[in-house]
């Protein structure tokens, strides 16, 4: 089943190229193109030469890149490669790479095409500078030639990975002792060289023949232990390198491998991660990124947070992930998403929760915020509001019916009753008073404000902190409880926001 609709939203190849125009522009495609009975020009993707020529022509037309490949080397399919680059851009929006003059990246196993570094440099208008590493000697020479052919030697440094070495990143980074890199990327060989087959195991016997020609040499397709062992080694080395690389990323070819890698990260106590899917044509790949930077919250990465298209399973119009969400306003309640944001900020700032915008533009229908709190300020808000309403002479009692509850202390109020607090309350009080490290919050969470046809939705996702995942449910409930505007209370335009945000006080 075609999964182009699940491709990254910025990927230009969501719409298939107009082959009729492309053949006119690049006549060499006539050798591999055919015209069907309706007059449409089509290419046979099972023909290796057709795939090779198409990639070369699209790279030249859309990116101004000239690419040559030796025989029997992996031909890069552009939609897949561009999905990876766009995902790295999304990660960069959270890591604030836009504020950096130069972004430094490493491509592990650049291959003969050196396609990822070339695309990264051109797509970023040469703001991204890449170190491309490759072990196979013939692929290394081809990669260097492609960089020189496109006059990008100043942005791409092609390095040989030691054939006798047993490391992936450790030895390479010894050549850059004083440098820190913003990211590394990897498209590892999918298959285990000890296995007899170069395709996923077909349990049903009904797997269709691949729609694209199989290209690539043995060393490009296979490695000892397959992709799981290869990526697991990157994880082990990242535990030594830590923040020498800000974000470690990799593509994964098989869903079973993806699940094993997530377990490996969990076993290594690496929890600052984000995941994605790369969908194109009839192919789906998976991706994982992790970081040891406490200030870089990877769960905030767009298209990985809530209902982004990369989180929707092909064939299922359903989001994955576990954020808690609800509709907070009807479409008629607010005049804009900015009004919703102001209202939410008012409520969060009232309970001393710090908020930082991560993704926001003036025309967006989605705003992503980072929340951080140093203690629990959101629990038992009803009890606190009622206690605050008690007059000094005690005429208005906290239970609202003119009588004092048994737990009421006439001198100090209900907060100082001799009655032993419930275990749940006691735990809140203890945990909220724990001393928090300067770089570690009691709670860090992502908040997504999203506009849909029927209203404005909030989604909260736990990122880190001692408060645990239950805290995001409590904060969402706090916001729902304190925003109780009804249509009769709402005025038009800017007045909507004011009424909605004051009605619950």
Residues 3-8 have a mean pLDDT of: 74
Residues 396-424 have a mean pLDDT of: 45
Q: Which residue has the higher pLDDT, 208 or 75?
A: 75
Three-state DSSP at 368 gives: strand
pLDDT for res 423: 39
Is the Cα dihedral 413, 414, 415, 418 positive or negative?
positive
Annotated binding site, which residues?
81, 109, 134, 187
- Rounded Cα gap, residues 64 and 50, in angstroms: 20
Confidence class for position 328, pLDDT limits 50, 70, 90: confident
Alpha helices for 389-469 (secondary structure H) = 423-433
428-448 pLDDT tens trace? 333 333 333 334 568 888 888
Q: What percent of the chain has pLDDT over 90?
A: 27
154-179 pLDDT tens trace? 999 999 987 666 888 998 898 898 89
For the chain, which domains are there? 69-194+214-300 (3.40.50.150), 322-374+441-484 (3.30.310.80)
496 vs 69, 154, 307, 334, CA distance in Å?
61, 54, 27, 6
pLDDT for res 385: 59
Among 17-31, 196-210, 261-275, 285-299, the least confident range: 196-210
Residues 100-127 have a mean pLDDT of: 95
Burial of 28 (0-12, 13-18, 19+ CB in 10 A): exposed
**Is pLDDT at 360 greater than 50 in this prediction?**
yes
Confidence class for position 392, pLDDT limits 50, 70, 90: low
118-162 pLDDT tens trace? 999 999 999 999 999 998 888 899 999 999 999 999 999 999 987
Count of other CB atoms within 10 angstroms of residue 454? 10
Annotated binding site for S-adenosyl-L-methionine, which residues?
81, 109, 134, 187
pLDDT for res 364: 67
pLDDT for res 32: 77
């Amino acid at each position: 089943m075609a999964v182009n609709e699940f491709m990254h939203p910025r990927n230009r190849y969501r719409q298939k190229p107009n082959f009729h125009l492309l053949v006119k522009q690049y006549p060499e495609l006539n050798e591999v193109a055919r015209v069907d009975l309706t007059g449409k020009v089509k290419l046979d993707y099972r023909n290796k030469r057709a795939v090779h020529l198409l990639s070369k022509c699209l790279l030249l037309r859309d990116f101004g890149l000239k690419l040559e490949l030796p025989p029997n080397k992996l031909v890069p399919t552009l939609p897949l490669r561009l999905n990876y680059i766009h995902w790295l851009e999304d990660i960069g929006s959270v890591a604030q790479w836009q504020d950096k003059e130069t972004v430094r990246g490493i491509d592990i196993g650049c291959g003969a095409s050196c396609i990822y570094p070339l695309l990264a440099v051109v797509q970023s208008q040469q703001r991204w500078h890449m170190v491309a590493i490759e072990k196979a000697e013939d692929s290394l020479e081809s990669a260097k030639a492609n960089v020189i052919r496109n006059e990008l030697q100043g942005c791409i440094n092609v390095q040989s990975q030691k054939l006798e070495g047993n490391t992936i990143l450790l030895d390479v980074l010894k050549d850059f002792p004083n440098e820190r890199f913003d990211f590394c990327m990897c498209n590892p060989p999918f298959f285990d060289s000890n296995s007899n087959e170069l395709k996923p195991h077909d349990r049903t016997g009904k797997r269709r023949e691949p729609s694209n020609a199989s290209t690539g040499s043995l060393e490009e397709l296979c490695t000892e232990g397959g992709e799981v062992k290869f990526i697991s080694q990157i994880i082990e080395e990242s535990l030594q390198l830590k923040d020498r690389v800000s974000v470690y990323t990799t593509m994964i070819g098989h869903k079973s491998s993806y699940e094993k890698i997530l377990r490996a990260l969990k076993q290594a106590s690496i929890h600052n991660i984000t995941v994605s899917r790369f969908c194109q044509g009839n192919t789906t790949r998976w991706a994982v990124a992790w970081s040891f930077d406490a200030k870089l919250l990877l769960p905030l990465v767009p298209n990985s947070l809530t209902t982004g298209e990369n989180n929707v399973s092909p064939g299922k119009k359903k989001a994955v992930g576990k954020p808690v969400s609800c509709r907070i306003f009807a479409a008629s309640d607010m005049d804009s998403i900015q009004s919703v944001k102001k209202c939410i900020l008012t409520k969060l700032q009232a309970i001393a929760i710090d908020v930082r915008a991560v993704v926001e533009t003036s025309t967006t229908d989605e705003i992503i915020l980072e929340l951080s709190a140093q203690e629990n300020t959101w629990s038992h808000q009803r009890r606190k509001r009622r206690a605050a309403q008690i007059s000094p002479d005690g005429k208005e009692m906290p239970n609202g019916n003119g009588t004092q509850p048994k737990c009421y202390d006439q001198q100090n109020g209900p907060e100082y009753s001799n009655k032993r607090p419930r275990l749940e309350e006691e735990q809140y009080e203890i945990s909220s008073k724990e001393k928090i490290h300067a770089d570690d919050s009691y709670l860090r969470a992502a908040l997504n404000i999203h506009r849909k046809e029927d209203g404005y939705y909030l989604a909260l996702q736990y990122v880190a902190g001692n408060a645990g995942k239950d805290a995001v449910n409590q904060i969402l409930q706090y916001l729902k409880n304190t925003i109780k505007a009804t249509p009769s209370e709402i005025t038009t335009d800017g007045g909507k926001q004011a009424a909605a945000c004051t009605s619950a006080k």
